[in-house]
């Protein structure tokens, strides 16, 4: 390629910032797009080619766009809304959609983008902020071979492992939604166990030490429960994200006429925490759905 590979990372939250820093580290000309000035400033200080609240000014020079936003409505607004980016991109530009969205939405958005001569990868990601910053995200990708090829420099930069789910957009999103069933249930049950420990008078740091050395441990327990122990619920991923994701799980199962008793129980716990005013706190704040327990950080 005669010019440096240029990628715009749209959405500089925990995962998007990590992905953008990984692209920079890999030598890609990286543009950071976010509405939050602090996020833009952080990426600019790290050496971004440009930062902005939208990608309109740089659209015609991009090879790829990576979206790490929250939901399908944001993906649609950014790409296909009145001020949408899609019509400003050169034909053949690759768009990697890494939001967790319904499979049908992924298919529909991909079809609209492909009609504008863009290459689309339905490519949800997992691994948390630490793996994102290390360039070791797990990517569950589906789309045409040409989209994979065009996005190879980005995939090499951000992913520790790329799973090729299939050739049709939507297939990657289905796998991510099933993964989120496990992620949401694991967080909810980790919180339930720690809530019970609190009620039983077991020190939470002791309970954490035991579980993380024993067979009941999970990645989510190990990653999320230190936030409960420290009383720090500043959001890395919010309660309302799992309300959204577990609703996608429930919708997927309903369409398949398939019962999911554990996922639905977890969804109700996240709904309870959100309803109690904790929706924008870290997803570990699902523990606050339990009444009558004393947690670290609570007013005495």
pLDDT of residue 297: 87
Low-confidence ranges of the chain (pLDDT < 50): 1, 300
Residues classed as catalytic: 176
Which letter does DSSP use for residue 100 in this model? -
- The model's pTM is 0.93
Q: Which domains does the chain have, with CATH numbers?
A: 6-167 (3.40.50.720), 174-289 (1.10.1040.10)
pLDDT of residue 1: 44
pLDDT of residue 298: 82
* Residue 247: HSE in the Cβ half-sphere, 13 Å Cα cutoff: 10
pLDDT of residue 2: 54
pLDDT of residue 3: 81
pLDDT of residue 129: 87
């Amino acid at each position: 390629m005669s010019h440096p590979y240029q990628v715009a990372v749209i959405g500089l939250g925990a995962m998007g910032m990590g992905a953008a820093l990984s692209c920079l580290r890999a030598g890609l000309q990286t543009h950071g797009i976010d509405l939050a000035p602090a996020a833009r400033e952080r990426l600019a200080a790290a050496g971004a080619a440009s930062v902005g609240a939208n990608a309109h000014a740089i659209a015609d020079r991009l090879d790829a766009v990576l979206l790490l936003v929250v939901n399908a409505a944001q993906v649609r607004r950014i790409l296909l809304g009145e001020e949408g980016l899609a019509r400003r991109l050169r034909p053949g530009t690759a768009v990697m959609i890494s939001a967790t969205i319904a499979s049908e939405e992924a298919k529909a958005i991909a079809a609209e983008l492909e009609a504008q001569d863009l290459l689309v990868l339905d490519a949800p990601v997992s691994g948390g902020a630490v793996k994102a910053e290390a360039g070791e995200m797990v990517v569950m990708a589906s789309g045409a071979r040409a989209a994979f090829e065009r996005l190879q420099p980005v995939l090499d930069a951000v992913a520790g492992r790329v799973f090729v789910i299939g050739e049709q957009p939507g297939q990657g999103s289905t796998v991510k939604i099933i993964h989120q069933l496990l992620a949401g249930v694991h967080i909810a049950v980790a919180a339930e166990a720690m809530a019970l420990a609190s009620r039983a008078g077991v020190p939470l740091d002791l309970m954490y030490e035991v579980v993380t050395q024993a067979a009941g441990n999970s990645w989510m327990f190990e990653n999320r429960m230190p936030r409960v122990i420290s009383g720090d619920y500043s959001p890395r991923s919010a309660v309302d994200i799992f309300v959204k994701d577990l609703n996608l799980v429930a919708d997927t199962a309903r369409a398949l006429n398939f019962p999911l008793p554990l996922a639905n129980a977890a969804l109700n716990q996240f709904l309870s925490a959100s309803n109690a005013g904790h929706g924008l706190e870290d997803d570990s704040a699902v523990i606050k759905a339990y009444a009558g327990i004393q947690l670290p950080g609570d007013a005495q």
